Amino acid sequence: MQVTDAVKRLLVGRPFRSDRLGETLLRKRIAVPVFASDALSSVAYAPDEILLTLALAGVSAYVFSPWVALVVVVVLLTVIASYRQNVHAYPSGGGDYEVVNTNLGRAGGLVVGSALLVDYVLVVAVSISSAAQFAATALPALAGSEVPLAVALVALLAATSLRGVRESGALFALPAYAFIVAVLGMLAVGLFRALFGDLPEAESAGFTLAPEAEFQAGITGLAGALLLLRAFSSGAAALTGVEAISNGIPAFRKPKSRNAATTLLVLGLLSSTMLLGVVNLATHLRVRFAEHPEEQLLRDGVPVGEGYVQRPVLGQIAAAVFDGFPVGFFAVTVATGLILVLAANTAFNGFPVLGSILARDGLLPRQLNTRGDRLAFSNGILALAGAAVVLIVAFDAEVTRLIQLYVVGVFVSFTLSQLGMVRHWTRLLATEDDPRERARMVRSRVVNAVGLTMTGSALVVVLISKFTRGAWITLVVMAVLFVMMRAIRGHYDTVARELAVEPGPLRTTLPARVHAVVLVSKVHKPTLRALAYAKVGRPSSLEALTVGVDPEQTAALQAAWDATEIPVPLTVLDSPYREVTRPIVDHVRSLRREGPRDLVVVYIPEYVVGHWWEHVLHNQTALRLKGRLLFTPGVVVASVPWQLASAEGSEDRWEGATPGLVRQGLPDPRDGRE
């Protein structure tokens, strides 16, 4: 086994046979951490975004924070109810893309596909950047190293995801449930202490907030309304991840639709409870949170300065609730950091599945539709990791900057999906006669219509409030993906038309003659083997061909050729400028011009070497020739291998499942192994 293969097996594990795909499907208790962790993790940063947005108007604006959170929860529950209709109507796993593509046409499907691809990348970038910032706050030694830490976390998640959905889900199940227990436990203890008047204030409660000039009189007028809309759009990050469940239905065990709908319900109840609880508890504890704390937070009217370290909202709440009980604070802190990393795992499960569906429809490269050794869509996982790393580095792992790009894509998909579902029910009602079924369809259409109204309104709010703050970047990227996917589909359609066999009796046009050309550099064993192979084909003509770049070497070659008495004429092409490739290509093309219906087969002797560095020393001219000749119509290039001593035993080193063997559905030669 080669070193690279050994490392791969250590990181990814042994390959699974294709018939074990059913064993990778998820139970509901594992599906919750796999698909719901993204939305659950928003509890760690959505309250922060609501409060820092309202902070622009001063402390008095915080009175609106519970109401903003309530509106977010209402929209969230509406979307959950709508998506429960989706998973029952479209259980194949296409999610929003399938709904829109089926009911609104390919253009709508492309819009949703591009929106979801962008949103999945942002899920990873935002959650991992948030985890890195959270870690830097908890461990001051990591301050300034957020970007490399975030990149390392993305690499770790990618490696874990490559091991398969079920294995990564089982690995992350404990941290997800630990976060749920830690936050709900914190809220329960906080409520208990508040009822008995024993709850201290947050560490930032003694500060005031310096309002922006336009909000000196508080939240009034158009500026105040726009600020509330901005706070809602930032808190709407809590809705991301809902669509991942409808996209990931194939990963559930049977009954798939029912299990997915149950997971959606659990997600909605948990997210709503935790978000409302955290925001209300933050208001009760008088938490102060600002985007630029060194300037906005005031102590006795004076800015606190750069020496002040601002903890996240959840961290401040935990410190106050578990005052005198550091174990509780530590549990919430660790669980929060883990869930933020785990949230990105939702995207690592959703993005590859969506990519495979788009690739199956010819909208993305077909490599995204192949399964890796562990039956996961490996190419999609790697593509997601690469795109997320680019965003993290470009935005310096700053959540506040990345969050402005967030949510736009997911609300685009929400809105178009609900519109598609309304058309879906309307189409079915036109042909349904059973009163019970009609009543059920009408109820479902009402649910989706309400969802369309809410998500459409939220989309308008998000676009207005976030466009100039970075949302335009998301729209531009979506447009680029839209055009790219249309171009890819156009390319595949063009290729299919060119390769299609015309209807009617099969007619094969044989070449009039076959010309065999054997390339010669020296008189040695590889040359003799190539000549022998060429003769076996019984061509109409056979010639050996060399290029004369040095008169002495050419004369020596001609002498050796004559001395060996090879019964094949040796043609020497003159090359005054010492080129090798062009004279050969021109000679082959001249043969084609003489007989347009003829076939020219060029035999190229090549060395088979056993070490990577030997490839640099051999076969470079052959590679250039093949690259040029492949574009010449009526020319076939045949490589004639000659194994050198260093290649001896190489086939044993490659014995076993080669890359892609399992995902191509081929049997593993290692019988009895996984």
CB count within 10 Å of CB 18 equals 15
Residue 549 in tokens: 């770049």
pLDDT, tens digit, 9 for 90 and up, residues 433-474: 888 889 988 988 898 898 888 888 888 887 887 777 777 888
**Helix (H), strand (E), coil (C) string for 562-614:** HHHCCCCCEEEEECCCCCCHHHHHHHHHHHHHHCCCCEEEEEEEEEECCCCCH
Residue 576: per-residue pLDDT: 80
Residue 652: per-residue pLDDT: 55
Helices vs strands, H then E, count in the chain: 26, 8
Residues of the chain with pLDDT > 70, as a percent, come to: 85
Find the angle CA(257)-CA(259)-CA(260) to the nearest 5 degrees: 65
pLDDT, tens digit, 9 for 90 and up, residues 168-223: 555 667 788 888 899 999 999 999 998 888 888 888 888 888 888 777 766 777 77
Cα gap 8→3, rounded to integer Å: 9
- What are the angstrom distances between the C-alpha of 449 and each of 98, 108, 247, 423? 18, 18, 21, 10
Query: What strands lie across the sheet with 541-548, from one edge to the other?
Result: 570-574, 541-548, 514-519, 599-608, 635-643
Which residue in the block uniquely carries the two structure tokens 């020219």?
600
pLDDT, tens digit, 9 for 90 and up, residues 227-255: 888 888 878 877 777 777 776 676 677 77
The secondary structure element, H or E, covering residue 624 is helix 620-629
Single-letter amino acid, residue 611: H
Full-model pTM = 0.72
- Where does 3-492 sit in CATH, by number? 1.20.1740.10
The secondary structure element, H or E, covering residue 59 is none
Fold for domain 514-643?
Rossmann fold (3.40.50)
Q: What average pLDDT does this structure show over 508-527?
A: 86
Answer positive or negative: Cα dihedral of 585, 586, 589, 590: negative
pLDDT, tens digit, 9 for 90 and up, residues 109-158: 999 899 889 988 988 888 888 788 777 766 777 777 888 988 998 988 88
Cα gap 88→246, rounded to integer Å: 9
Cα gap 378→159, rounded to integer Å: 10
Residue 78 in tokens: 């509406």
10 Å CB burial of residue 665 (0-12, 13-18, 19+) is exposed
Evaluate whether 74 touches 395 at the Cβ level (below 8 Å): no
Q: Where are the domains of the chain?
A: 3-492, 514-643
Of 75, 535, 13, the C-alpha closest to 275 is: 75
